[in-house]
Amino acid sequence: MKPETGRYLEKARKLLGEAEAILTLQLGDIAGRTAYLAGFHAAQALIFERRDVVPKTHRGVHGQFSDLVRAEPRLDAALRSFLTQAYKLKAVADYDTGPEADIPVTEAEKALVTAKRFVATMDTLIRDPS
């Protein structure tokens, strides 16, 4: 594993821990956003490991990630769509206002469960690219 890849994975794992801690405070917005960011950094790790360069934008990461895993049999539908689905949580937390702007804690918890699987799967794909 390349050192930069490891740093992206480290960041992803750190964010998973933060999201878990935030959930104990019942802060769905922050936990949902943080779960997304954990997945984002794990996707960056896979992209960097395979391509030696990583886009810095959300759109760029989502696109390159999709290209890389299109035919990957070790990813189920929930993991393939995780970045897109979880980005919606980030967008709500960051930009929406009013009563619809709150992310329910239960939704953030679900995102965190999937984020943990996502990060672990990216680690597996990096360590075992076959």
Write out pLDDT tens, residues 31-81: 999 999 999 999 999 999 999 999 989 999 999 999 999 989 999 999 999
Q: What is the CATH number of the domain that holds 50?
A: 1.20.120.330
> CA–CA separation, 86 vs 112, rounded Å?
9
User: What pTM, to 2 d.p., does this model score?
Assistant: 0.94
Structural domain containing residue 93: 3-127
DSSP state of 14: H
Q: How far is CA 65 from CA 29, 55, 100, 127, in A?
A: 25, 10, 29, 16
As for how many domains the chain has, the answer is 1
